[in-house]
Structure 1
Amino acid sequence: MANMLDLDQLRTFVAIADSGSFTKAADSVHKTQSAVSMQMRRLEERIGKPIFGRDGRSAKLTEQGERLLGYARRMVRLSDETMAAFDDEELSGRVRLGTPDDYADRFLPEILARFSRSNPRVEVTVVCEPTIQLIEALRAGELDLGIITNTKDTPTAEIVRQEPLLWVASGHHRLEEEEVLPLALGRDTCCWRRTALESLSATNRKYRLLYASNNSTALSAAVLAGLAISVQPESALRPGMRVLSEAEGFPRLAPCEIGLLRAPNRPTNAIVDALAEHIVSSLDNLSMRAAAE
């Protein structure tokens, strides 16, 4: 019994990690700063490891603190989901979410599973379109939330995930050795396509665009068949793909930023807020799992 973790302490710990401050966390969990500090001392005693750096009131996590954070997030979410399942006043209604198809394939299974468990009476409508079309739909009020690729040309979005953008080829072919590189990229509105072509032009590397599609599955098929080279975010890598490095003549690309965008000028909506929270926590949890692997 002495080793049991206190859920309230874990909730406070997550609030500190998210806000980066004991003071801000105290406000969000409705406690005094001294109470928050006491909770963290007791949590460290239970863990038997230091979870914060020892420079005053720093909220910087130690290596053990980072390790604990993943478990703490899962325990707090599971507690919230359990209480929501027995809440007679649970949310009901409809929310409209837009996302490019590659993000839908990689991220939606966890997002929707978690959201549905917490909000079983909410209907989620999902629209899969390229980022530029999702932005237009959000402006027109046709969507409530959009998971988009953030660029300098997109509206200000909350960045919820960042990962490397990589050159990829088939693991069984050596297309990078060809004098003229065969490419499979998005349509002409795709920011990754522009990034890839501009970087090749800057290095005077010859290329020819063989396949163009907004469908990530089609582009991956061309890569896996050994027909073309493409660019993919790290989380999109599939078995059979091989990453091409700077040593092989492929310039480093700017990282992929995934943003969460809300429909502008819309009143606060509890359902939209709930889904947004699940998106942020799910993508953050995915990032931690990827780092651990």
Structure 2
Amino acid sequence: MSLSLDIDLLRSFVAISEARSLSRAASRVGRTQSALSQQLKRLEEIVEQPLFQRTGRGVLLTAHGERLLTHAQRILRLHDEAMADLSAKGLSGTIRFGCPDDYAAVFLPYLLRQFASQHPSVLVEVICAPTPRLLQQWDKHALDLALISLPDGAPDETIIRREPLVWVGCPGTETADFDPLPLALSSPDTLDHLAARASLDRAGRGYRIAYASDSLAGLTALVRSGQAIAVLTRTAVPADLCILDTTATLPALPSVGISLKLGRSTPLSEAFAEHTRRSLPLL
């Protein structure tokens, strides 16, 4: 008997690949972790290949999983477009959405895919940059919406989600071996840069800026080399890097709040804003 790829199984598979964790994926799709695990087992039986490998911090796609993900995303996109077209539902148009790199890597795949499933005729133009650069674009009216970081202590009513900042290094990093401590940080006006320097200054720990850039890829590359440590939001830490324990000379960092700025109100921008506010706390 021939087997086929069930849409529901593919949707759960994509959710797991994006969340990198069965527990986080379960909350996204509204299933128990046990039910999601059974779905994954069923899908692996159908394709006769392992799709994920488990790690200490979640799951990673295997080579076969990477190949299936490409097909699954295309199948789901076409399925959702067909359903929206036949039901004559959904908005259309273009919106310009600003998002910091670290949030983009974790949150954007789900946000965009879920919104596209309801509104396949909408084009979302994404501009990735740190919050200070997004605010500059905002002031020029170059963005319709922007996801931005706010410092600890910002009014609660503006916050969609809070994210702790953490020290990040490659496996085996011993910060006691460095004097001064080499840091890979975003530009000097960003919250991670300001928080890192302020906490180390208070602790009296010597440090040097080994790399300062708005490029998240550049920051993580230097961390992977073992030549520096970085500050990221907890959910943005790549699976191959580790969160460093805080000590008297590597003090705890504050949290940041994630907020959404909405410009001129239109049905399209309001719909995407509501989708973001509803989804972000669950990711």
Class of the TM-score when normalised by the shorter of the 2 chains: 0.5 to 0.7
The answer as to 2:271 corresponding to 1:274 is yes
Aligned to 2:189: 189
Q: Which residue of 2 aligns with 1:128?
A: 128
Cα offset for 1:210?
A: 0.6
Which stretch has the larger CA shift, 239-248 or 116-125? 239-248
Change (3 A) 1:261 1:203: same
Which runs of structure 2 are paired with 1:1-293 in the superposition (5 Å)? Answer: 71=30, 86-151=86-151, 158-247=158-247, 249-263=249-263, 266=264, 268-286=265-283
Q: Distance in 2 between matches of 1:231 and 1:272?
A: 32
CA distance in 2, matches of 1:157, 1:148: 14
Normalised TM-score (structure 1): 0.64
CA contact (8 A) 1:138 1:262 kept: no
Asked if the contact 1:102–1:217 (Cα under 8 Å) also holds between the matched residues in 2, the reply is no
**SS of 2:173's equivalent?**
coil
- Larger Cα Rg: Structure 1 or Structure 2? 1
TM superposition shift of 1:86: 4.1
- CA deviation map 1:183-223 (0-9, x unaligned): 11111111110111011011110011111111112111111
Asked whether the equivalents of residues 152 and 254 of structure 2 are also in contact (C-alpha less than 8 Å), the reply is no
Residue 52 of structure 1 corresponds to none
Residue 159 of structure 1 contacts residue 257 of structure 1 at CA under 8 Å; is this kept in 2? yes
Secondary structure at 2:160 match in 1: strand
The answer for the alignment partner of 1:8 in structure 2 is: none
2:124, 2:107 → 1: CA distance?
15
Q: CA deviation at 1:106?
A: 1.5
Which amino acid counterpart does residue 252 of structure 1 have in structure 2? A
Q: Work out the CA distance in 1 between the residues paired with 2:130 and 2:202.
A: 26
The answer to whether the 8 A contact 1:170-1:242 is kept is yes
Letter paired with 1:113: R
**CA separation of 1:176/1:238 partners in 2, compared to 1, >3 Å: closer, same or farther?**
farther
For residues 134-166 of structure 1, the C-alpha deviation after alignment (integer angstroms, 9 at most, x for no partner) is 122223221110011113799998322212110
Q: Is the 8 A contact 1:161 1:284 kept in 2?
A: yes
Distance 1:84 1:227 in 2: 50
CA distance in 2 between counterparts of 1:168 and 1:208 reads: 16
* Unaligned ranges ≥5, structure 2: 1-25, 32-79
Pairwise CA distance, 1:88: 1.9
Distance in 2 between the 1:149 and 1:230 partners? 17
Tell me the matched-pair count.
210
User: Is the CA contact (8 Å cut-off) linking 1:182 and 1:228 kept in structure 2?
Assistant: yes
Report if aligned partners of 2:152, 2:255 keep a CA contact under 8 Å in 1: no
Computed over aligned residues only, the root mean square deviation of the Cα atoms, in angstroms, reads 2.8
Alpha-carbon distance between aligned partners in 1 of 2:184 and 2:168, rounded to the nearest angstrom: 10
Question: Following TM superposition, by how much is the alpha carbon of 1:247 offset from its aligned partner in structure 2, in angstroms?
Answer: 3.2
Q: Is the 8 A contact 1:96 1:124 kept in 2?
A: yes
Range that drifts further, 192-201 or 100-109: 100-109
Shift of the alpha carbon at 1:82? 9.9
Equivalents in 2 of 1:170, 1:130: separation in Å? 23
Partners of 1:186 and 1:193 within 8 A in 2: yes
Secondary structure class of the residue paired with 1:164: strand
1:173 to 1:251, Cα distance in 2 relative to 1, 3 A? closer
User: Is the contact between residue 94 and residue 122 of structure 1 (CA under 8 Å) also seen in structure 2?
Assistant: yes
* Percent of residue pairs bearing the same amino acid type: 35
TM-score normalised per structure 2: 0.66
Q: Deviations over 1:62-113 (max 9, x none)?
A: xxxxx999728xxxxxxx9998554425311111101112221211111110
Deviations 1:233-262 (A, max 9, x none): 111112332222233631111112111111
Distance 1:146 1:154, change over 3 A: farther
